[in-house]
Chain A
């Protein structure tokens, strides 16, 4: 009995070490927060389109699962994920929609003209209000919204090929088995 009591601090120490190992493992971002909006209806939005007079609205997106990507021309990590977005839209024909977060239309347009436009439509969220409603706390963030307008997945930070393979593709298959 006594021996067990003496081993207790050692056991506690190993519990702590285990906790640190999990928190410090490569690829684990301590700044990544679970979304409070997961499995909840996406907040409604109705944004001016970047290119034409159409509006990008939540109501208009319902009926099919879509991927909504918050980006900005001033955002460096967005450039990192841009080639991947281009691939997803051109090779995999994924329904990508962009929301330019706190960006000027001219700047967003220049970005898309220079690096290519992976989006079916781009909405301008100039005051960041839609981002605020989604709980965006830094660009880029990517949301998967199902046909009923429910947020099914959130990716914080630039999308990676690994995350697409592991999370995004299976989820889209599950949401729309026909495609």
Chain B
């Protein structure tokens, strides 16, 4: 078992290194850290479900370089991201912005959950209320019940 785990760990280590290449890195660790954070939030348009930070695609490399250029030139994080959005549209943002066009995306699932909870609540409430609606036995019925029980015991 231990050998197996060791094998798996070694295999993981052998996965090809992708994404940010050493020659892309900026000398300034603070700038590089910001570049990495921004890269993690931008979608690679070739692979579409990877961030450019993880992607080995050529285009992702180009956008990583662009991000680093802008940061080196003194742009803020927001300006840098905007520069990429201006070229490729809001689709490059892995986390879509909250705006009228994305309200359904952002608020749809919570709204559906609320709707489901409300419906379940209503259903449970109705089920609890139902037994209380039974009318108590009339005096005549009580007498008959008592008689039956007595016969049973006897």
Q: Which residues of A does B touch, CB under 8 Å?
A: 31, 33-37, 102, 128, 132-135, 137-138
Contact = CB atoms under 8 A, between A and B. Distances in A.
Contacts of A128: 58, 62
Interface string B38-78: 00000001101000000000110011001000000000000
A33 B45 contact: yes
Interface of B: 45-46, 48, 58-59, 62-63, 66, 85-91
The 6 closest A-B pairs by CB, nearest first: A36-B89, A137-B45, A135-B87, A135-B88, A132-B62, A33-B91
Given A128-B62, A132-B63, A36 B87 contact: yes
A68 to B, nearest CB: 16
A35 B91 CA distance: 10
A102 B88 contact: no
A36 B62 contact: no
Given A102-B58, A134-B87, 19 more contacts: A31-B48, A33-B88, A34-B89, A35-B89, A36-B86, A36-B87, A36-B88, A36-B90, A37-B86, A128-B62, A132-B63, A132-B87, A133-B87, A135-B87, A135-B88, A135-B89, A137-B45, A137-B59, A138-B59
B87 A37 contact: yes
A132 B66 contact: yes
A42 B56 CA distance: 28
Contacts of B63: 132
A140 to B, nearest CB: 15
A104 to B, nearest CB: 15
Contacts of B85: 36
Nearest to B65: A132
A4 B154 CA distance: 55
A16 to B, nearest CB: 13
Contacts of A133: 87
A72 to B, nearest CB: 11
A34 B89 CA distance: 8
Nearest to A12: B112
B97 to A, nearest CB: 13
